[in-house]
Amino acid sequence: MIERTVSINGNPLAAPAETEVALVDFKPEHFINRELSWLEFNARVLEEAEDPTTPLLERVKFLSIFSSNLDEFFMVRVAGLREQAFGDGAPEDFAPDGLTPIAQLERIAARTQELVARQYRCWNQSIAPALAEQGIQIVKHHELTAEQQAELDDFFRQRAFRILTPMAIDPSHPSPRFQNRGLYVAAMLELDRQHGLGPKRMFAVVQVPQVLPRLVQLSSPQGYRFITLADAVQARLPELFGGFSVLCSTTFRITRDCDFDLLEQESDDMLRLIEERLRARARGDAVRIEVSADADEELLQTVVDSEDLRLPTRPSSYNEIYRIDGPLDLTGLMVLYKLPGLAHLRDAPFTPRMHVGGGQRFDMFAAIRQRDILLHHPFDSFAPVVDFVSRAATDPQVLAIKQTLYRTGPDSPITKSLIQAAENGKHVTALVELQARFDEEFNVTWARQMERAGVHVVFGFMNMKTHCKASLAVRQEGDILRRYVHLSTGNYNPTTATVYTDLGLFTVNEDFAEDVSALFNLLTGYSQGHKWRKLIVAPQDLQRRTIELIEEQAQRAREGKPSRIFGKFNALVDHRVIQALYKASQAGVPIDLVVRGICCLRPGLPGISETVRVRSVVDRFLEHSRIFVFGPADEAKVFLASADWMPRNFYRRMELMFPVETPELREYLLGDVAPCYLRDNVKARVLASDGGYSRLSPAAGESAHRCQVEMMQFFPRRQKPLEPARSTAPGDGDPGDGDSSGGRPKRKRRVSRA
């Protein structure tokens, strides 16, 4: 393979070449377009909103998620394609499907228009009427009772009018820069009096304030009644623009390009650079306008012209204007999802298992010394992970903590523990990824707080994100320093850990500890040359090793030996990996892939991918874990990873793939988790070779299997109960080197009596 040098602030790292390599034995039609595949994932999210068997408020949640997903897609992916099609932007990745940027934009627009129309049919014809039957209504202004109208008048006098700013647009009042995803009311006005202040006819806008509730709740004798703030503002335009008549009005919303590349910028302060980028987001080019379906054409054209949105000069189906038959921005519906007292309209409450830990006297370090521990979130509580860091912060035997942080969130107990550890005099290092898209503000805030507390904060690399998830605690135990390691497929974020499926491994295995120490040295000091014992690291080696593992199975199949590939992950885009999978299929390897989102591989192609089966599970929890199995049964090599099979993960991110070698943990993944996903016939969709997905349902006489429900219900057989772990007094640690299986000393265990 051709090698290249990736420069990280002038320090080279070897990584595979990222060049446009000719497709070998395969044609563009053998690949599905990345962006169109993503749209089909969002269509599966929409299906959950459309499904009448889904609890009603869960349907509302999925409708909101669909809108939020689409916002990010336009801000990042569509924005990048527009730059390539109409500007001078270069493609980020080689597109093996062969579609040009403008062809992709045309197909994206056509499919998105279809999906948005479906979304609002679902809202108008199904969900909104069903909510009304349950006493939850969003009403129009003219439907308010006299009492509710008086209540709304009071809301405007006391709150809204003090915040709202009517803005006339003329040569002396230039058009404002409409905020990204901001909601506005636009109007065409006419002066009532012949000798009044202002032009006889003018265009005006009012921003719907983000600091006020998007849905205004009004009193109702039964249930809940709301009016959208935009509708209420629109009804009060004559009061806001006194002396003018409202000829026509509409609501609109603009989505902007929010994908700014730091590689082209120079700065000696990355933190300040990120803060500047956050401010720049409000000024990015417009990439989409959502507007009420009944908007006046002249009014709409005025908004379009102010944003310099232009369609291609040649005839094209590409359309950046989305006419909406209902309330704009359905992300605001999450207010309804959180209403109190409606448990019967949501999924049944679920309490994660406390598989390990619990109580002030429980010693996480003693538990990890007993054996490797695998936690499967959200089915297993995330509390032991938080406890691991918090105990390390206060344990006098812990000398150092090293931690990666990708998405911290607004209230991060792990970050607070790192601050506490530094204040307690421990050596604390935090790798904070400032380029975690749309979480930059939280990360910047926490980074500054940690710096003030004495944490050694590192911000990753300018030209690649640090996406690996690792935590390391160094503890003095007798005459040795023992290293405790946690590796994960997901973020150190207790909030997302309740709604994302992820896996995390605790170990004191010395090989893992050496590798994780070397990883932090690489992240903080560019230290290179370490020979990795267990970890497979991107950008240096992850793609090459992944292809090697696939090719090993292909060779086994050619030799007539049993072979197998199983992968569960979020996206399959990298064309080299896809080609390796195609060749493995041609050799006869059975390949089962559970791919939540984008999949550019076409399964079931005669002579190409006949042994490949691809499914996607969209359910209550967001499927986020990455599990890879190469080989059959006892011979299988089992890995967990922070990375998907995408060019960005292989080339432009620091990523980890790590093996699971403890027998009972392997058995859990091989015997419980993988089969559970493959037998789901309730929430699974199967990918066809044409790129379409079909939802599975139990056949006649077949039992229903819903993998997430089953994993909530069964107690995993992955490991026997831990011995009671008591607090370890200084000097209790055994100085032995540990055995090869787990890095723990061989010793007789003391059996406690109940």
Q: Is the same domain home to 415 and 452? A: yes
At residue 11, the pLDDT reads 46
* Residue 741 pLDDT grade (very low, low, confident, very high; cuts 50, 70, 90): very low
What would the mean pLDDT of 195-200 be, rounded to a whole number? 68
At residue 723, the pLDDT reads 58
Is 421 strand, coil or helix? helix
pLDDT tens sequence across 429-482: 999 887 645 556 666 777 888 899 999 988 777 678 889 999 999 999 999 999
14: Cβ–Cβ under 8 A, 6 or more apart, which residues?
3, 4, 5, 6, 540
| Domain annotation covers residue 68 | no
- Of 18 and 91, the structure prediction assigns the larger pLDDT to 91
Rounded Cα gap, residues 277 and 176, in angstroms: 20
- Of 20 and 631, the structure prediction assigns the larger pLDDT to 631
* Residue 389 pLDDT grade (very low, low, confident, very high; cuts 50, 70, 90): very high
Instruction: Let me know: does 249 contact 234? Beta carbons within 8 Å.
Output: yes
At residue 439, the pLDDT reads 54
Q: Is the same domain home to 280 and 164? A: yes
Q: Is the same domain home to 581 and 448? A: no
Q: Is pLDDT at 311 greater than 60 in this prediction?
A: no
Q: Is the same domain home to 580 and 654? A: yes
At residue 313, the pLDDT reads 42
CATH code, domain with 654: 3.30.870.10
**CA proximity to 74, closest of 284, 249, 307:** 284
| Domain annotation covers residue 78 | no
pLDDT tens sequence across 625-684: 999 999 998 899 999 999 999 999 999 999 999 999 999 999 999 999 999 999 999 999
* Residue 51 pLDDT grade (very low, low, confident, very high; cuts 50, 70, 90): very high
Q: Is pLDDT at 536 greater than 70 in this prediction?
A: yes
H helix intervals, 122-166: 128-133, 146-155, 161-163
Of 498, 526, 554, the residue at which a domain comes to its end is 526
- Output the average pLDDT for the chain: 86
Q: Is pLDDT at 9 greater than 50 in this prediction?
A: no
At residue 731, the pLDDT reads 42
| Domain annotation covers residue 19 | no
Q: Is the same domain home to 664 and 634? A: yes
* Residue 87 pLDDT grade (very low, low, confident, very high; cuts 50, 70, 90): confident
* Residue 257 pLDDT grade (very low, low, confident, very high; cuts 50, 70, 90): confident
Of 526, 551, 581, the residue at which a domain comes to its end is 526
| Domain annotation covers residue 10 | no
What would the mean pLDDT of 12-28 be, rounded to a whole number? 61
Sign of torsion over alpha carbons 134, 135, 139, 143: positive
H helix intervals, 5-138: 34-50, 56-73, 79-86, 101-121, 128-133
Angstrom CA distances, 646 to 95, 546, 582, 585, stand at 12, 12, 16, 20
Structure tokens at 1: 């393979």
Rounded Cα gap, residues 696 and 693, in angstroms: 10
**CA proximity to 334, closest of 680, 59, 597:** 59
At residue 714, the pLDDT reads 75
Q: Is the same domain home to 379 and 328? A: no
Where is average pLDDT lowest: 187-201, 207-221, 230-244, 265-279? Answer: 265-279
| Domain annotation covers residue 72 | no
CB-based burial, 640-659: b 16+ in 10 Å, e otherwise: bbbbbbbbbbbbbbbbbbbb
Q: Is the same domain home to 134 and 275? A: yes
Given 355, 376, 377, 467, the catalytic residue: 467
149: Cβ–Cβ under 8 A, 6 or more apart, which residues?
none
Q: Is the same domain home to 195 and 215? A: yes
For helices 101-121 and 79-86, give the axis angle rounded to 10 degrees: 140
Which segments of 355-397 are extended strands (E)?
373-377
Q: What type of residue sits at position 36?
A: L
Domain around 644: 538-713
* Proportion of the chain above pLDDT 70, given as a percent: 83
575 is known as an active-site residue:
no
| Domain annotation covers residue 212 | yes
* Residue 276 pLDDT grade (very low, low, confident, very high; cuts 50, 70, 90): low
At residue 463, the pLDDT reads 75
At residue 416, the pLDDT reads 94
Phi, psi of 80 (to 5 degrees): -65, -40
Angstrom CA distances, 673 to 456, 546, 594, 635, stand at 38, 21, 12, 17
Of 461, 492, 526, the residue at which a domain comes to its end is 526
Q: Is the same domain home to 295 and 386? A: no
**CA proximity to 441, closest of 405, 418, 419, 409:** 409
| Domain annotation covers residue 617 | yes
* Proportion of the chain above pLDDT 90, given as a percent: 69
Q: Is pLDDT at 561 greater than 80 in this prediction?
A: yes
| Domain annotation covers residue 401 | yes
The number of domains in the chain is: 3
At residue 182, the pLDDT reads 92
At residue 94, the pLDDT reads 73
* Residue 314 pLDDT grade (very low, low, confident, very high; cuts 50, 70, 90): very low
CATH code, domain with 118: 3.30.1840.10
What would the mean pLDDT of 546-574 be, rounded to a whole number? 98
Q: Is the same domain home to 410 and 262? A: no
pLDDT tens sequence across 286-300: 899 999 999 999 999
Q: Is the same domain home to 404 and 307? A: no
Q: Is pLDDT at 1 greater than 70 in this prediction?
A: no
Q: Is the same domain home to 130 and 216? A: yes
Q: Is pLDDT at 493 greater than 80 in this prediction?
A: yes
Instruction: Let me know: does 368 contact 484? Beta carbons within 8 Å.
Output: yes
Is 429 strand, coil or helix? strand
Where is average pLDDT lowest: 86-95, 253-262, 448-457? Answer: 86-95
At residue 347, the pLDDT reads 96
Q: Which of 85-94, 270-279, 327-336, 435-444 has the highest mean pLDDT?
A: 327-336
